[in-house]
Chain A
Amino acid sequence: GAVVSQHPSWVICKSGTSVKIECRSLDFQATTMFWYRQFPKQSLMLMATSNEGSKATYEQGVEKDKFLINHASLTLSTLTVTSAHPEDSSFYICSARRHGAGIIQETQYFGPGTRLLVL
């Protein structure tokens, strides 16, 4: 159990276009989903925390108008990179926290990632 999927797995787009990435929890409900970005040979950087039905909380330095996050249901969150530029090229990874998880069960389940290349 506890499978998280992402779609698409990779995308190539032209500069200026918008790209939407979906994150789904397949066999559990996720109260909270997290979006990370990872550059080559670096660790994961948290971009934002998304709670179902409310606005996402963005980390310092992450532009909320550029990285639009929607968490419309307990199984789906989307990240839209608006007007993408080459510097937005990165590996985007989502994770989900199980609904009703207590402290002991606080484990994030990660998706396989989406590689974005902006030309």
Chain B
Amino acid sequence: DAKTTQPNSMESNEEEPVHLPCNHSTISGTDYIHWYRQLPSQGPEYVIHGLTSNVNNRMASLAIAEDRKSSTLILHRATLRDAAVYYCILRVRISGSNYQLIWGAGTKLIIKP
């Protein structure tokens, strides 16, 4: 079964970069890597996703290892509002055009002012 492994928690100082690691050694060739984050008592918020190449958007960057068995979410300059649980997820094909998100346990990111 596809699954992801993340550290339970990480701390970082405000306005410094944050690198959130994720291992997904059982990933298959068609599985996309997604990252979502969740603030307390809220629904998850999409952050970024990718397949093989590194990806950048306004929120973050995603660095994917060449063998795709690991990836790193990069927040270039963390603010207090970035404090959340970050989930590394594999999007796996179930059948045809049907997909599911397989959720990891998440990393609780703590930002220190």
Q: Do A and B come from one complex?
A: yes
* Interface set of A (CB-CB < 8 Å, partner B): 4, 6, 32, 34, 42-46, 49, 91, 93, 95, 103, 106-113, 115
| 14 extra A-B contacts, CB within 8 A, seeds A42-B105, A95-B43, A113-B41 | A4-B43, A6-B43, A34-B100, A34-B101, A43-B106, A91-B41, A106-B32, A106-B99, A108-B101, A109-B46, A110-B43, A110-B46, A111-B43, A112-B42
**A112 near B103: Cβ-Cβ < 8 Å:** no
* Interface set of B (CB-CB < 8 Å, partner A): 32, 34, 36, 41-46, 49, 87, 91, 98-101, 103-106
Total residue contacts A-B, CB cutoff 8 A: 48
Q: Give the residue name and chain of the A residue nearest to B95 (CB).
A: A57
**B101 near A46: Cβ-Cβ < 8 Å:** yes
Q: Check A46/B43 contact, CB under 8 A, given A106-B32, A106-B91, A107-B49.
A: no
Chain B residues contacting A107 (CB-CB under 8 Å) are 34, 46, 49
B32, B44, B103, B105: most-surrounded residue (chain A CB, <10 A): B44
Q: Check A43/B46 contact, CB under 8 A, given A106-B32, A115-B41.
A: no
